[in-house]
Structure 1
Amino acid sequence: MNQPIEMSMRNRTGIDRSPVDSQKMIDAANAYMPSSRGNGSALMDVEARYIQEADPVGTVAIPGTLKGAAKATMQMLAGRNAEVLVDKLGERLAFERTGTRLYDYFINKCEAAKSGAPISIDTLKRFRHEEAQHFMLVAGALESLGADPTSQTPGADVSAVASGGVLQVLSDPRTSVDQCLEAMLNAELVDNAGWDMLVKLADDMGLDDMSRDFQAALNEEDEHLMEIRQWYEQSTLAQAGVI
């Protein structure tokens, strides 16, 4: 699982591995050319119609309390769309829940692999704890707006799909610590940008306490990103024999 990147005869994916058979495949492809002319534009037209006629991924739930409805109405009267903030909070909530699981998988991977990569397990455990705290912070922010944190927003739905690939990398027993580091770097880059957007939204909507809490979370996410990036670079350069 944590063997260095190596060349192997087991990799038979390239066309050069079988020049005779690959030439037969090329000859067959040249012999049976498409019977009609076209450049794929008709398929793009069909896809465009699907895009134009498709329903949205989802909607933001109506606030379940009078308090929440009143706050949302006040924001809308002030020219602000509170549903955008609720959607982004729902997105962050989903991501932080996944982020906590990512760190669970990564910690277990590092401990089981006994990798020589420059990674601190104690630091990873702290990051995991902070991700869980960020989840609770976002849930509390949604409740303070009168929104239901158990309601899935469109952003939460899309976020879950987008982060699914990272989760698969971390949970795959075949992936190395170094490969998982790269996947974690992808997750932290997205997470950092998400918190930065929440700070801007809360600040522009005059939610000063929320903005201050989000900035504190962003500061912690900055450290997550910095450490993961540094470990990733050090580990890759060490494998390449550069350092």
Structure 2
Amino acid sequence: MSKKTIADVGMNRTGIKTSPIDSKDVIQEAARATPSSPGDGQGILEVRKQYAREAGDGLGSVPPPSSLKGMAKTAVDMLKGGKPTVFIDKLGERLAFERTGVRLYEGALSKLDVFGSWEGGPSRELLTKILDDELSHFALLVEALEKLGADPTAMTPSADLTAVISMGVPAAISDARTNLRQCMQALLVAELTDNASWELLIDLARGLGHDALADRFQLALDAEAEHLLLVKSWLAAGVSTEARAPMESAPVVPAP
């Protein structure tokens, strides 16, 4: 296993105790200093409230149906008392997330090429299978949106929101400094969200009478549940392997 996968002692200077003399001075000066501005956090809270009031349409809107069939379907759902735009919004969210999932596992495969795996860790075969599953789920959602007369290329409000919420995951995996075990930690965040979101989508589909779609979504959730178990087991094995590895010699830190 590459040394980069081991959490060894190193020249980490981020803690205050690495320089006790200087840190004492810093603490004393901070205690003597006056605030740069009067008041507390209430001022910024009021500014945020004002921004929220002026935000207008928020994160955007769901586009109108792109076909006559879609318009007819929307009209029928509205006559039933439903709000089809909510379902389309959540379908758009899952579509965006599954597309990102493909990229995440492509990134994990590249880390596997560099660092290799560990006992009980991911294999190329299983990582590729999960990638293919994510791609098939993406295709399923494209099909579902098109059958509803919606545009699968549109960025819906929930798709926009989930992209912002989860932006740290692809950033962690694409970071050149992270190893495969650390990628598993990032993938765990994605898989936990993925499973919970598919559950919500299935409940929504059944509640709106889309039982056939809900049945197909359940198959996707079954696959995602398997992904979650695999990632959890790989991460646990990786952390255990690191914990059992011999500690490298720590660098000598000069006395202050």
TM-score of the two chains, using structure 1 as the length reference = 0.94
Is residue 2:115 matched to residue 1:113?
Answer: yes
Of residues 177, 181, 194, the one that matches 1:178 is: 181
Instruction: Give 5+ residue unaligned stretches, structure 2.
Output: 246-256
Stretch of structure 1 that moved more, 127-136 or 16-25: 16-25
Q: Distance in 2 between matches of 1:35 and 1:44?
A: 17
Q: Distance in 2 between matches of 1:138 and 1:79?
A: 24
Of residues 74, 86, 90, the one that matches 2:76 is: 74
Is contact 2:93–2:156 with CA below 8 Å preserved after alignment? yes
Identity %: 43
Q: What is the root-mean-square deviation in Å for CA atoms of aligned residues?
A: 1.6
Aligned to 1:14: 15
Q: Distance in 2 between matches of 1:35 and 1:142?
A: 53
Q: Distance in 2 between matches of 1:190 and 1:3?
A: 26
Q: Secondary structure at the match of 2:34?
A: coil
Q: Distance in 1 between matches of 2:80 and 2:37?
A: 58
| Matching of residues 53-132 of structure 1 within 5 Å | 53-55=54-56, 56-117=58-119, 118-132=121-135
Which amino acid in structure 1 is aligned with residue 132 of structure 2?
H
Of residues 205, 208, 211, the one that matches 2:208 is: 205
TM-score of the two chains, using structure 2 as the length reference = 0.89
Which amino acid in structure 2 is aligned with residue 130 of structure 1?
D
Over residues 179-222 of structure 1, what are the superposed CA-to-partner deviations in whole Å (9 max), with x where a residue is unaligned? 11000000011111111111111111111211111011111011
Instruction: Report the Cα offset of residue 139 of structure 1.
Output: 0.4
Stretch of structure 1 that moved more, 207-216 or 139-148: 207-216
Aligned residues between the structures? 241
Which amino acid in structure 2 is aligned with residue 126 of structure 1?
K
Stretch of structure 1 that moved more, 117-126 or 131-140: 117-126
Instruction: Give 5+ residue unaligned stretches, structure 1.
Output: none
Instruction: Report the Cα offset of residue 232 of structure 1.
Output: 1.1
Provide runs of 4+ in structure 1 moved above 6 Å: none
Q: Distance in 2 between matches of 1:93 and 1:6?
A: 40
Instruction: Report the Cα offset of residue 165 of structure 1.
Output: 1.1
Aligned to 1:146: 149
Q: Give the structure, 1 or 2, with the largest relative contact order (CA under 8 Å, sep 6 or more).
A: 2
Q: Distance in 2 between matches of 1:235 and 1:35?
A: 46
Aligned to 2:249: none
Q: Secondary structure at the match of 1:48?
A: helix
Q: Distance in 2 between matches of 1:161 and 1:38?
A: 31
Aligned to 1:227: 230
Instruction: Report the Cα offset of residue 233 of structure 1.
Output: 1.5
